[in-house]
Structure 1
Amino acid sequence: MKKILQFFAITLAVLPMIASAHGPTRQSVKESVFINASPEKVWAVLSDFTAIDKWHPAVASVEMLSDNERKLTLKGEGHPTITEKLEKLDNDKMMMIYKIEKMSVIKTITYNSKDTPYYTLPVNNYKSWLSVKAKDGGSEVTWKGKFYRSFMDNPPVPEGQSDEDAVNAVKGVYTSGLNNLKAMLEK
């Protein structure tokens, strides 16, 4: 009995250390917008993988690297880039899945004696879904993503590289894009 109690005491003492000694956890963001336009009209814009620069205000240009891979050049200082790969485009279900393949490095800092890159977005292992569904005589567009923060080591985390920073950055991308898409299609 004494050994069992010792085992539980050690387990309870070690458990908090194990819980705090982990890398990032998978995060997710889901944003939706109602657009007063037919799903077909909305999908015609969204499904064109070559033309996100026509509706997303942060994208300056798109360069197609292959049939299913695009390089986005963003507006703003230094014109950072994001390369994305289209994994699935389903016109019947009005849904697309894509992932980020690579991003440009904005800056590098030394943190805990290691060079730590800051990418275009503070995310790693990013995958996204865009879909359009009929709703209330118009369309509901849903954009969701799953990802990790870009800093993959254990805490402490450098400024701008936390889970919260990653979530806020992705939310910003989604809401600005969806709001602009809505404004454009409801003119």
Structure 2
Amino acid sequence: MKKFLQIVAAAVIALPLVATAHGPTRQEVDEKIVINASPEKVWTMLKDFSAIDKWHPAVESVEMKSDKVRVLTLKSEGNPTITEELDKINDEKMSLIYKITDMSVVKTITFNSKDTPYYTLPVSTYKSWMFVKEVDGGTEVRWRGKFYRSFMGNPPVPEGQSDAEAVEAVTAVYKSGLENLKNIMEK
């Protein structure tokens, strides 16, 4: 019994140390906006997987590699790219699901004696859902994403690659896109 209590005590002491020394945890961003336009009109714009450059202000151009794979070239310095794949589109439910499959490396730093890449967005294993539904007075567009930060190692984390910075970057992408979509749809 004494040995058992020693093991339990050791586990209780070690637990806080284990809890703080972990890699990334899955993050989520969920943004919504109400647009004064019909759901059909909004859905027609959103479901065209080749036309995000028509409504998202950060996208310079779209190159379709196939019916379900697009490469976005962004307007930021160096014109970084993001490759996305359409998983599912549902006209009846006015929803689509896509994921990021590749991104440009915008720079590389040495961190903890290792080369550490910085990607177009500080995320990995990114999956996103977009939903359009009718609400009183218009249409609600919901853009939801789940992902991990791009730096997959344990802390310390390089500047610009923390969980919070990944959430901040995706939130900015969603908010700017949704606000611009609203402006275009309400003209």
Into which bin does the TM-score normalised by the smaller protein fall? Answer: over 0.9
The equivalences for 1:1-187 within 5 A come to 1-187=1-187
Unaligned runs of 5+ in 2: none
Alignment deviations for residues 45-66 of structure 1 (CA, whole Å, 9 cap, x no partner): 0000000000000000000001
Amino acid at match of 1:85: E
Amino acid at match of 2:39: P
The CA distance in 2 between the partners of 1:86 and 1:124, in whole Å, is 17
Secondary structure, in 3 states, of the residue corresponding to 2:65? strand
Unaligned runs of 5+ in 1: none
Alignment deviations for residues 113-156 of structure 1 (CA, whole Å, 9 cap, x no partner): 11100000000000000010000031000000000000000000
The CA distance in 1 between the partners of 2:78 and 2:70, in whole Å, is 19
Percent identical: 68
State how many pairs are aligned: 187
Report the CA distance between 1:5 and its aligned residue.
2.0
Root mean square deviation of aligned Cα: 0.7
Return structure 1 stretches of 4+ with deviation > 6 angstroms.
none
Note if contact 1:43-1:132 (Cα within 8 Å) is conserved in structure 2: yes
Q: Under a length normalisation based on structure 1, what TM-score does the superposition of the two structures give?
A: 0.98
Note if contact 1:38-1:137 (Cα within 8 Å) is conserved in structure 2: no
Secondary structure, in 3 states, of the residue corresponding to 1:156? coil
The CA distance in 2 between the partners of 1:172 and 1:100, in whole Å, is 17
Report the CA distance between 1:3 and its aligned residue.
2.0
The CA distance in 1 between the partners of 2:4 and 2:124, in whole Å, is 42
The CA distance in 1 between the partners of 2:118 and 2:49, in whole Å, is 26
